[in-house]
Structure 1
Protein backbone atom coordinates (compact mmCIF):
# COMPACT_ATOMS: atom_id res chain seq x y z
CA UNK A 1 0.00 0.00 0.00
CA UNK A 2 1.19 3.53 -0.71
CA UNK A 3 2.55 5.49 2.21
CA UNK A 4 1.74 9.01 1.08
CA UNK A 5 -0.92 10.74 3.15
CA UNK A 6 -1.85 13.75 1.05
CA UNK A 7 -4.80 13.93 -1.32
CA UNK A 8 -4.10 16.17 -4.29
CA UNK A 9 -3.98 16.64 -8.04
CA UNK A 10 -1.26 19.01 -9.23
CA UNK A 11 0.22 20.11 -12.55
CA UNK A 12 3.85 21.13 -13.06
CA UNK A 13 4.98 22.50 -16.44
CA UNK A 14 8.59 22.28 -17.52
CA UNK A 15 10.20 22.25 -20.96
CA UNK A 16 6.87 21.96 -22.80
CA UNK A 17 5.83 18.96 -20.68
CA UNK A 18 2.93 19.21 -18.22
CA UNK A 19 3.16 16.54 -15.54
CA UNK A 20 -0.13 15.89 -13.75
CA UNK A 21 0.30 13.98 -10.50
CA UNK A 22 -2.59 12.59 -8.46
CA UNK A 23 -2.34 11.25 -4.93
CA UNK A 24 -4.60 9.67 -2.35
CA UNK A 25 -3.65 7.79 0.83
CA UNK A 26 -5.92 4.86 -0.12
CA UNK A 27 -3.64 3.47 -2.86
CA UNK A 28 -4.26 6.48 -5.10
CA UNK A 29 -7.98 5.80 -5.37
CA UNK A 30 -10.42 8.42 -6.62
CA UNK A 31 -13.18 10.17 -4.69
CA UNK A 32 -15.36 12.51 -6.77
CA UNK A 33 -13.39 15.62 -5.77
CA UNK A 34 -10.21 14.11 -7.20
CA UNK A 35 -11.98 13.15 -10.43
CA UNK A 36 -13.25 16.72 -10.84
CA UNK A 37 -9.79 18.15 -10.20
CA UNK A 38 -8.15 15.82 -12.68
CA UNK A 39 -10.73 16.60 -15.36
CA UNK A 40 -10.31 20.34 -14.84
CA UNK A 41 -6.53 20.23 -14.99
CA UNK A 42 -6.51 18.18 -18.19
CA UNK A 43 -8.98 20.59 -19.80
CA UNK A 44 -7.07 23.66 -18.62
CA UNK A 45 -4.04 22.59 -20.66
CA UNK A 46 -5.92 22.58 -23.97
CA UNK A 47 -5.22 26.24 -24.76
CA UNK A 48 -1.76 26.37 -23.17
CA UNK A 49 0.63 26.87 -26.07
CA UNK A 50 3.65 26.29 -23.85
CA UNK A 51 2.66 22.63 -23.43
CA UNK A 52 3.08 19.95 -26.10
CA UNK A 53 2.78 16.79 -24.02
CA UNK A 54 1.07 15.68 -20.80
CA UNK A 55 2.45 13.02 -18.47
CA UNK A 56 -0.15 11.46 -16.17
CA UNK A 57 1.26 9.83 -13.06
CA UNK A 58 0.41 9.01 -9.46
CA UNK A 59 2.43 9.67 -6.33
CA UNK A 60 4.52 7.11 -4.49
CA UNK A 61 6.10 3.86 -5.53
CA UNK A 62 3.14 1.57 -4.74
CA UNK A 63 -0.15 1.28 -6.58
CA UNK A 64 -0.72 3.41 -9.65
CA UNK A 65 -4.45 3.66 -8.97
CA UNK A 66 -6.94 1.58 -7.00
CA UNK A 67 -9.92 2.96 -8.93
CA UNK A 68 -13.05 4.32 -7.29
CA UNK A 69 -13.10 5.31 -3.63
CA UNK A 70 -14.84 2.53 -1.70
CA UNK A 71 -15.81 4.97 1.04
CA UNK A 72 -17.65 7.15 -1.45
CA UNK A 73 -19.28 4.17 -3.16
CA UNK A 74 -20.65 3.06 0.19
CA UNK A 75 -22.07 6.53 0.80
CA UNK A 76 -24.13 6.55 -2.41
CA UNK A 77 -27.82 6.43 -1.48
CA UNK A 78 -29.73 7.51 -4.62
CA UNK A 79 -29.65 6.78 -8.34
CA UNK A 80 -28.67 10.37 -9.04
CA UNK A 81 -25.75 10.23 -6.62
CA UNK A 82 -24.58 6.98 -8.17
CA UNK A 83 -24.75 8.30 -11.72
CA UNK A 84 -22.98 11.50 -10.68
CA UNK A 85 -20.11 9.61 -9.06
CA UNK A 86 -19.47 7.32 -12.02
CA UNK A 87 -19.87 10.27 -14.38
CA UNK A 88 -16.68 11.54 -12.77
CA UNK A 89 -14.76 8.75 -14.51
CA UNK A 90 -16.66 9.49 -17.73
CA UNK A 91 -15.59 13.13 -17.48
CA UNK A 92 -11.92 12.20 -17.04
CA UNK A 93 -11.89 9.75 -19.94
CA UNK A 94 -13.64 12.20 -22.25
CA UNK A 95 -11.22 14.95 -21.21
CA UNK A 96 -8.28 12.69 -22.02
CA UNK A 97 -9.87 11.60 -25.30
CA UNK A 98 -10.54 15.15 -26.50
CA UNK A 99 -7.40 16.75 -25.07
CA UNK A 100 -5.37 18.68 -27.62
CA UNK A 101 -2.19 17.26 -26.09
CA UNK A 102 -0.78 13.76 -26.31
CA UNK A 103 -1.01 12.05 -22.92
CA UNK A 104 1.69 9.67 -21.74
CA UNK A 105 0.80 7.41 -18.84
CA UNK A 106 3.37 6.52 -16.18
CA UNK A 107 2.24 3.36 -14.39
CA UNK A 108 4.67 2.40 -11.63
CA UNK A 109 2.49 -0.16 -9.84
CA UNK A 110 -0.78 -2.04 -9.80
CA UNK A 111 -3.88 -0.66 -11.50
CA UNK A 112 -7.40 -1.73 -10.53
CA UNK A 113 -10.76 -0.84 -12.05
CA UNK A 114 -10.79 2.84 -12.88
CA UNK A 115 -7.00 2.81 -12.78
CA UNK A 116 -7.02 0.45 -15.75
CA UNK A 117 -9.44 2.87 -17.41
CA UNK A 118 -7.05 5.78 -16.88
CA UNK A 119 -4.14 3.85 -18.36
CA UNK A 120 -6.30 2.84 -21.32
CA UNK A 121 -7.27 6.45 -22.01
CA UNK A 122 -3.61 7.48 -22.28
CA UNK A 123 -2.16 7.70 -25.77
CA UNK A 124 1.09 5.92 -24.83
CA UNK A 125 1.96 4.15 -21.59
CA UNK A 126 5.23 3.45 -19.79
CA UNK A 127 4.99 0.86 -17.02
CA UNK A 128 7.11 -1.29 -14.74
CA UNK A 129 7.08 -5.05 -14.32
CA UNK A 130 5.15 -4.47 -11.08
CA UNK A 131 2.21 -2.84 -12.86
CA UNK A 132 -0.24 -5.75 -12.78
CA UNK A 133 -3.86 -5.05 -13.70
CA UNK A 134 -7.25 -6.23 -12.49
CA UNK A 135 -10.88 -5.37 -13.20
CA UNK A 136 -12.58 -6.35 -9.95
CA UNK A 137 -15.95 -4.69 -10.56
CA UNK A 138 -18.00 -7.85 -11.05
CA UNK A 139 -16.71 -9.13 -7.71
CA UNK A 140 -18.41 -6.19 -5.98
CA UNK A 141 -21.66 -6.43 -7.90
CA UNK A 142 -21.14 -3.78 -10.57
CA UNK A 143 -19.10 -3.85 -13.79
CA UNK A 144 -16.48 -1.79 -15.65
CA UNK A 145 -19.17 -0.17 -17.76
CA UNK A 146 -17.85 3.40 -17.95
CA UNK A 147 -14.25 2.46 -18.66
CA UNK A 148 -15.08 -0.43 -21.01
CA UNK A 149 -14.97 1.59 -24.25
CA UNK A 150 -11.48 2.90 -23.43
CA UNK A 151 -10.18 -0.50 -22.32
CA UNK A 152 -11.70 -2.32 -25.29
CA UNK A 153 -10.31 0.27 -27.69
CA UNK A 154 -6.84 -0.32 -26.31
CA UNK A 155 -6.74 -4.12 -25.83
CA UNK A 156 -9.77 -5.44 -27.76
CA UNK A 157 -13.03 -7.01 -26.62
CA UNK A 158 -11.57 -10.48 -26.04
CA UNK A 159 -8.88 -9.31 -23.62
CA UNK A 160 -11.36 -6.93 -22.02
CA UNK A 161 -13.68 -9.84 -21.22
CA UNK A 162 -10.79 -11.92 -19.92
CA UNK A 163 -10.05 -9.16 -17.41
CA UNK A 164 -13.69 -8.54 -16.56
CA UNK A 165 -14.82 -12.12 -15.99
CA UNK A 166 -11.69 -13.09 -14.04
CA UNK A 167 -12.58 -10.40 -11.54
CA UNK A 168 -10.45 -11.82 -8.70
CA UNK A 169 -7.34 -12.41 -10.80
CA UNK A 170 -4.35 -10.19 -11.48
CA UNK A 171 -2.84 -10.06 -14.96
CA UNK A 172 0.88 -9.37 -15.00
CA UNK A 173 2.40 -6.32 -16.67
CA UNK A 174 3.75 -8.56 -19.43
CA UNK A 175 0.16 -9.56 -20.28
CA UNK A 176 -0.85 -5.89 -20.38
CA UNK A 177 2.13 -5.16 -22.67
CA UNK A 178 1.38 -8.05 -25.00
CA UNK A 179 -2.25 -6.96 -25.28
CA UNK A 180 -1.42 -3.34 -26.03
CA UNK A 181 -2.36 -1.63 -22.78
CA UNK A 182 1.27 -0.80 -22.02
CA UNK A 183 3.49 0.53 -24.80
CA UNK A 184 6.76 -0.20 -22.99
CA UNK A 185 7.65 -1.99 -19.73
CA UNK A 186 10.75 -1.75 -17.56
CA UNK A 187 12.44 -3.60 -14.71
CA UNK A 188 12.54 -0.58 -12.42
CA UNK A 189 10.95 2.81 -11.85
CA UNK A 190 14.27 4.54 -12.50
CA UNK A 191 14.69 2.83 -15.87
CA UNK A 192 11.10 3.68 -16.76
CA UNK A 193 11.50 7.34 -15.81
CA UNK A 194 14.73 7.68 -17.78
CA UNK A 195 13.13 6.31 -20.93
CA UNK A 196 9.96 8.34 -20.38
CA UNK A 197 11.96 11.55 -20.06
CA UNK A 198 13.78 10.92 -23.32
CA UNK A 199 10.54 10.02 -25.10
CA UNK A 200 8.67 13.08 -23.85
CA UNK A 201 11.55 15.40 -24.79
CA UNK A 202 11.61 13.96 -28.29
CA UNK A 203 7.86 14.52 -28.69
CA UNK A 204 8.23 18.17 -27.68
CA UNK A 205 10.61 18.67 -30.61
CA UNK A 206 7.86 17.74 -33.07
CA UNK A 207 5.26 20.06 -34.58
CA UNK A 208 2.46 20.43 -31.96
CA UNK A 209 -0.13 20.72 -34.70
CA UNK A 210 1.04 17.44 -36.23
CA UNK A 211 0.87 15.75 -32.83
CA UNK A 212 -2.69 16.97 -32.32
CA UNK A 213 -3.76 15.84 -35.77
CA UNK A 214 -2.31 12.40 -35.06
CA UNK A 215 -4.16 12.31 -31.76
CA UNK A 216 -7.43 13.00 -33.56
CA UNK A 217 -6.70 10.07 -35.87
CA UNK A 218 -6.04 7.84 -32.87
CA UNK A 219 -9.42 8.71 -31.33
CA UNK A 220 -11.52 8.61 -34.50
CA UNK A 221 -15.06 7.26 -34.16
CA UNK A 222 -15.33 7.93 -30.43
CA UNK A 223 -17.47 11.07 -30.45
CA UNK A 224 -20.47 9.00 -29.33
CA UNK A 225 -18.68 8.53 -25.98
CA UNK A 226 -20.09 11.94 -25.06
CA UNK A 227 -23.38 10.15 -24.43
CA UNK A 228 -22.36 6.49 -24.12
CA UNK A 229 -20.16 6.90 -21.04
CA UNK A 230 -22.92 8.70 -19.13
CA UNK A 231 -25.44 6.02 -20.06
CA UNK A 232 -22.94 3.53 -18.64
CA UNK A 233 -22.54 5.69 -15.52
CA UNK A 234 -26.28 5.39 -14.91
CA UNK A 235 -26.03 1.58 -15.07
CA UNK A 236 -23.22 1.54 -12.51
CA UNK A 237 -25.04 4.10 -10.40
CA UNK A 238 -28.04 1.81 -10.12
CA UNK A 239 -26.03 -1.33 -9.40
CA UNK A 240 -24.01 0.28 -6.62
CA UNK A 241 -27.23 0.67 -4.61
CA UNK A 242 -27.83 -3.09 -4.42
CA UNK A 243 -27.45 -5.03 -1.19
CA UNK A 244 -25.00 -7.31 -3.00
CA UNK A 245 -22.68 -4.42 -3.76
CA UNK A 246 -22.97 -2.81 -0.33
CA UNK A 247 -22.13 -6.12 1.37
CA UNK A 248 -19.27 -6.82 -1.04
CA UNK A 249 -17.76 -3.36 -0.52
CA UNK A 250 -17.88 -3.80 3.25
CA UNK A 251 -16.16 -7.17 2.93
CA UNK A 252 -13.45 -5.70 0.71
CA UNK A 253 -12.84 -2.91 3.22
CA UNK A 254 -12.39 -5.46 5.99
Structure 2
Protein backbone atom coordinates (compact mmCIF):
# COMPACT_ATOMS: atom_id res chain seq x y z
CA UNK A 1 0.00 0.00 0.00
CA UNK A 2 1.39 3.33 -1.09
CA UNK A 3 1.08 6.61 0.74
CA UNK A 4 1.64 10.10 -0.55
CA UNK A 5 2.68 13.53 0.60
CA UNK A 6 1.58 16.63 -1.28
CA UNK A 7 2.45 20.28 -0.73
CA UNK A 8 0.61 23.34 -1.95
CA UNK A 9 1.74 26.93 -1.49
CA UNK A 10 -0.64 29.89 -1.44
CA UNK A 11 -0.26 33.34 0.12
CA UNK A 12 3.13 32.38 1.61
CA UNK A 13 1.47 29.43 3.38
CA UNK A 14 2.68 25.89 2.58
CA UNK A 15 0.20 23.13 3.33
CA UNK A 16 1.66 19.63 3.69
CA UNK A 17 -0.95 16.87 3.43
CA UNK A 18 -0.02 13.25 4.10
CA UNK A 19 -2.05 10.15 3.30
CA UNK A 20 -1.77 6.41 3.73
CA UNK A 21 -4.60 3.91 3.22
CA UNK A 22 -3.79 2.24 6.55
CA UNK A 23 -5.16 4.99 8.78
CA UNK A 24 -2.63 7.59 7.62
CA UNK A 25 0.12 5.54 9.25
CA UNK A 26 3.78 6.02 8.45
CA UNK A 27 6.11 3.48 6.83
CA UNK A 28 9.74 4.59 6.71
CA UNK A 29 9.49 5.77 3.10
CA UNK A 30 6.70 8.14 4.09
CA UNK A 31 8.67 9.44 7.07
CA UNK A 32 11.65 10.12 4.81
CA UNK A 33 9.47 12.01 2.32
CA UNK A 34 8.00 14.16 5.08
CA UNK A 35 11.45 14.99 6.45
CA UNK A 36 12.69 16.00 3.00
CA UNK A 37 9.61 18.13 2.39
CA UNK A 38 10.01 19.94 5.71
CA UNK A 39 13.69 20.59 5.01
CA UNK A 40 12.89 21.92 1.54
CA UNK A 41 10.26 24.30 2.89
CA UNK A 42 12.66 25.44 5.58
CA UNK A 43 14.84 26.85 2.81
CA UNK A 44 12.00 28.22 0.68
CA UNK A 45 12.03 32.00 1.01
CA UNK A 46 8.53 32.29 -0.48
CA UNK A 47 7.04 30.43 2.52
CA UNK A 48 6.34 32.09 5.86
CA UNK A 49 4.18 29.43 7.51
CA UNK A 50 3.51 25.69 7.27
CA UNK A 51 0.26 23.81 7.89
CA UNK A 52 0.56 20.06 8.56
CA UNK A 53 -2.56 17.97 7.97
CA UNK A 54 -3.64 14.55 6.79
CA UNK A 55 -6.24 13.57 4.23
CA UNK A 56 -9.55 11.80 4.59
CA UNK A 57 -12.19 11.83 7.31
CA UNK A 58 -10.84 9.00 9.48
CA UNK A 59 -7.75 9.03 11.65
CA UNK A 60 -5.35 11.96 11.64
CA UNK A 61 -2.49 9.47 12.03
CA UNK A 62 -2.34 5.87 13.23
CA UNK A 63 1.38 6.12 14.00
CA UNK A 64 3.99 3.65 12.81
CA UNK A 65 3.25 1.12 10.07
CA UNK A 66 2.53 -2.23 11.75
CA UNK A 67 3.49 -4.07 8.56
CA UNK A 68 6.94 -2.52 8.60
CA UNK A 69 7.37 -3.07 12.33
CA UNK A 70 6.61 -6.76 11.84
CA UNK A 71 9.19 -6.92 9.06
CA UNK A 72 12.03 -5.62 11.25
CA UNK A 73 14.55 -8.46 11.63
CA UNK A 74 17.59 -6.89 13.30
CA UNK A 75 18.67 -4.00 15.50
CA UNK A 76 19.93 -1.86 12.62
CA UNK A 77 16.61 -2.11 10.80
CA UNK A 78 14.68 -1.32 13.98
CA UNK A 79 16.83 1.67 14.87
CA UNK A 80 16.65 2.96 11.29
CA UNK A 81 12.85 2.76 11.23
CA UNK A 82 12.36 4.67 14.48
CA UNK A 83 15.00 7.17 13.41
CA UNK A 84 12.46 8.17 10.76
CA UNK A 85 10.21 9.63 13.45
CA UNK A 86 13.23 11.21 15.13
CA UNK A 87 14.20 12.89 11.86
CA UNK A 88 10.69 14.26 11.26
CA UNK A 89 10.41 15.72 14.77
CA UNK A 90 13.86 17.27 14.53
CA UNK A 91 13.03 18.72 11.12
CA UNK A 92 9.89 20.29 12.57
CA UNK A 93 11.82 21.58 15.58
CA UNK A 94 14.59 23.15 13.51
CA UNK A 95 12.40 24.46 10.70
CA UNK A 96 12.57 28.30 10.81
CA UNK A 97 8.88 28.48 9.84
CA UNK A 98 6.08 28.14 12.37
CA UNK A 99 4.11 24.92 11.89
CA UNK A 100 0.37 24.72 12.55
CA UNK A 101 -1.18 21.29 12.90
CA UNK A 102 -4.71 20.35 11.80
CA UNK A 103 -6.06 17.25 13.55
CA UNK A 104 -9.39 16.19 12.08
CA UNK A 105 -9.41 12.71 13.65
CA UNK A 106 -7.76 10.41 16.15
CA UNK A 107 -4.00 10.27 16.65
CA UNK A 108 -2.05 7.31 18.00
CA UNK A 109 1.61 6.99 18.99
CA UNK A 110 3.76 8.73 16.41
CA UNK A 111 0.74 10.75 15.33
CA UNK A 112 0.63 12.29 18.80
CA UNK A 113 4.33 13.02 18.42
CA UNK A 114 3.72 14.90 15.17
CA UNK A 115 1.07 17.06 16.79
CA UNK A 116 3.33 17.71 19.78
CA UNK A 117 6.05 18.92 17.41
CA UNK A 118 3.71 21.51 15.89
CA UNK A 119 3.84 25.05 17.23
CA UNK A 120 0.05 25.45 17.31
CA UNK A 121 -2.70 22.87 16.76
CA UNK A 122 -6.30 23.15 15.60
CA UNK A 123 -8.39 20.03 16.30
CA UNK A 124 -11.89 18.64 15.99
CA UNK A 125 -13.59 17.43 19.16
CA UNK A 126 -13.32 13.90 17.73
CA UNK A 127 -9.49 14.09 17.58
CA UNK A 128 -8.87 11.83 20.57
CA UNK A 129 -5.32 10.69 21.34
CA UNK A 130 -3.63 7.55 22.64
CA UNK A 131 -0.09 6.33 23.33
CA UNK A 132 -0.49 2.59 22.78
CA UNK A 133 3.19 1.65 22.60
CA UNK A 134 3.49 -0.23 25.91
CA UNK A 135 0.64 -2.50 24.84
CA UNK A 136 2.75 -3.75 21.92
CA UNK A 137 5.92 -4.14 23.97
CA UNK A 138 7.74 -0.92 23.12
CA UNK A 139 7.31 2.64 24.42
CA UNK A 140 6.92 6.20 23.10
CA UNK A 141 10.63 6.82 23.55
CA UNK A 142 11.31 8.85 20.41
CA UNK A 143 8.28 11.12 20.70
CA UNK A 144 8.40 11.44 24.51
CA UNK A 145 10.51 14.64 24.61
CA UNK A 146 8.09 16.40 22.26
CA UNK A 147 4.99 15.14 24.08
CA UNK A 148 6.39 15.93 27.55
CA UNK A 149 7.40 19.39 26.42
CA UNK A 150 3.79 20.09 25.44
CA UNK A 151 1.68 18.37 28.11
CA UNK A 152 4.10 17.81 31.00
CA UNK A 153 5.67 14.65 32.36
CA UNK A 154 2.74 13.63 34.56
CA UNK A 155 0.23 13.79 31.71
CA UNK A 156 2.67 11.99 29.39
CA UNK A 157 3.12 9.24 32.01
CA UNK A 158 -0.65 8.96 32.45
CA UNK A 159 -1.10 8.41 28.73
CA UNK A 160 1.80 5.98 28.48
CA UNK A 161 0.74 3.86 31.45
CA UNK A 162 -2.83 3.64 30.13
CA UNK A 163 -1.95 2.41 26.64
CA UNK A 164 -5.46 1.22 25.78
CA UNK A 165 -7.24 4.38 26.95
CA UNK A 166 -8.24 7.17 24.61
CA UNK A 167 -7.88 10.72 25.90
CA UNK A 168 -10.55 13.09 24.65
CA UNK A 169 -9.72 16.10 22.49
CA UNK A 170 -10.76 18.43 25.30
CA UNK A 171 -8.28 16.66 27.61
CA UNK A 172 -5.57 17.36 25.02
CA UNK A 173 -6.73 20.99 24.94
CA UNK A 174 -6.55 21.29 28.73
CA UNK A 175 -3.05 19.78 28.80
CA UNK A 176 -1.74 22.04 26.04
CA UNK A 177 -1.33 19.64 23.12
CA UNK A 178 -4.18 21.31 21.27
CA UNK A 179 -4.51 25.08 21.02
CA UNK A 180 -8.15 25.18 19.81
CA UNK A 181 -10.86 22.53 19.58
CA UNK A 182 -13.97 22.82 17.37
CA UNK A 183 -17.24 20.92 17.05
CA UNK A 184 -17.50 21.32 13.28
CA UNK A 185 -14.82 20.98 10.61
CA UNK A 186 -16.15 24.06 8.81
CA UNK A 187 -15.54 26.17 11.91
CA UNK A 188 -12.10 24.65 12.38
CA UNK A 189 -11.01 25.38 8.84
CA UNK A 190 -12.40 28.92 8.91
CA UNK A 191 -10.46 29.73 12.09
CA UNK A 192 -7.34 27.98 10.81
CA UNK A 193 -7.41 29.88 7.51
CA UNK A 194 -7.95 33.25 9.19
CA UNK A 195 -5.19 32.68 11.74
CA UNK A 196 -2.76 31.36 9.11
CA UNK A 197 -3.30 34.36 6.84
CA UNK A 198 -2.75 36.71 9.75
CA UNK A 199 0.47 34.98 10.82
CA UNK A 200 1.81 34.88 7.27
CA UNK A 201 1.42 38.67 7.04
CA UNK A 202 3.71 39.31 10.00
CA UNK A 203 7.42 40.12 9.86
CA UNK A 204 9.20 36.89 8.79
CA UNK A 205 12.17 37.78 10.98
CA UNK A 206 9.88 38.18 13.96
CA UNK A 207 8.29 34.79 13.28
CA UNK A 208 11.74 33.21 13.01
CA UNK A 209 12.90 34.66 16.30
CA UNK A 210 9.70 33.52 17.98
CA UNK A 211 10.22 30.00 16.66
CA UNK A 212 13.68 30.00 18.27
CA UNK A 213 12.20 31.08 21.59
CA UNK A 214 9.48 28.41 21.46
CA UNK A 215 12.07 25.67 21.00
CA UNK A 216 14.72 26.87 23.45
CA UNK A 217 16.42 24.10 25.41
CA UNK A 218 16.03 21.38 22.77
CA UNK A 219 19.43 21.58 21.06
CA UNK A 220 20.35 18.10 22.34
CA UNK A 221 17.46 16.42 20.51
CA UNK A 222 19.49 15.56 17.41
CA UNK A 223 21.41 13.01 19.47
CA UNK A 224 18.72 12.25 22.07
CA UNK A 225 16.01 11.16 19.65
CA UNK A 226 18.39 8.89 17.74
CA UNK A 227 19.40 7.28 21.04
CA UNK A 228 15.73 6.77 21.82
CA UNK A 229 15.20 5.22 18.38
CA UNK A 230 17.76 2.56 19.25
CA UNK A 231 15.79 1.64 22.37
CA UNK A 232 12.60 1.17 20.37
CA UNK A 233 14.55 -0.62 17.64
CA UNK A 234 15.74 -3.18 20.17
CA UNK A 235 12.36 -3.72 21.82
CA UNK A 236 10.52 -4.22 18.52
CA UNK A 237 12.58 -7.40 17.99
CA UNK A 238 11.15 -9.09 21.11
CA UNK A 239 8.79 -12.04 20.85
CA UNK A 240 6.32 -10.11 22.98
CA UNK A 241 6.15 -7.27 20.46
CA UNK A 242 5.92 -9.53 17.41
CA UNK A 243 2.99 -11.44 18.95
CA UNK A 244 1.29 -8.23 20.10
CA UNK A 245 1.58 -6.66 16.67
CA UNK A 246 0.02 -9.72 15.02
CA UNK A 247 -2.82 -9.61 17.54
CA UNK A 248 -3.42 -5.91 16.91
CA UNK A 249 -3.55 -6.51 13.15
CA UNK A 250 -6.33 -9.08 13.65
CA UNK A 251 -8.53 -6.59 15.51
Per the normalisation by structure 2, the TM-score is: 0.99
Match of 2:58 in 1: 62
Does residue 185 in structure 1 map to residue 181 in structure 2?
yes
Does residue 128 in structure 1 map to residue 127 in structure 2?
no
- Structure 1 segments (4+ residues) deviating >4 Å: none
Per the normalisation by structure 1, the TM-score is: 0.98
How many angstroms does 1:190 deviate by? 1.2
Note the 1:79-90 alignment, pairs <5 A: 79-90=75-86
Does residue 206 in structure 1 map to residue 202 in structure 2?
yes
Superposed CA deviations along residues 156-205 of structure 1, whole A, max 9, x for unmatched, are 00000010000000000000000000000000111111100000000011
How many angstroms does 1:61 deviate by? 1.1
Count of aligned positions? 250
Q: 1:251 aligns with which of 212, 231, 247?
A: 247
Does residue 53 in structure 1 map to residue 49 in structure 2?
yes
Q: 2:114 aligns with which of 107, 111, 118?
A: 118
Q: Secondary structure at the match of 1:21?
A: strand
**Structure 2 unmatched ranges of 5 or more:** none
Q: Secondary structure at the match of 1:63?
A: coil
Structure 2: how far apart are the matches of 1:204 and 1:43? 19
Structure 2: how far apart are the matches of 1:205 and 1:14? 12
How many angstroms does 1:34 deviate by? 0.3
Structure 2: how far apart are the matches of 1:78 and 1:91? 20
Superposed CA deviations along residues 117-169 of structure 1, whole A, max 9, x for unmatched, are 00000000000000000000000000000000000000000000010000000
Does residue 164 in structure 1 map to residue 132 in structure 2?
no
Q: 1:34 aligns with which of 20, 27, 30?
A: 30
Structure 1: how far apart are the matches of 2:178 and 2:167? 12
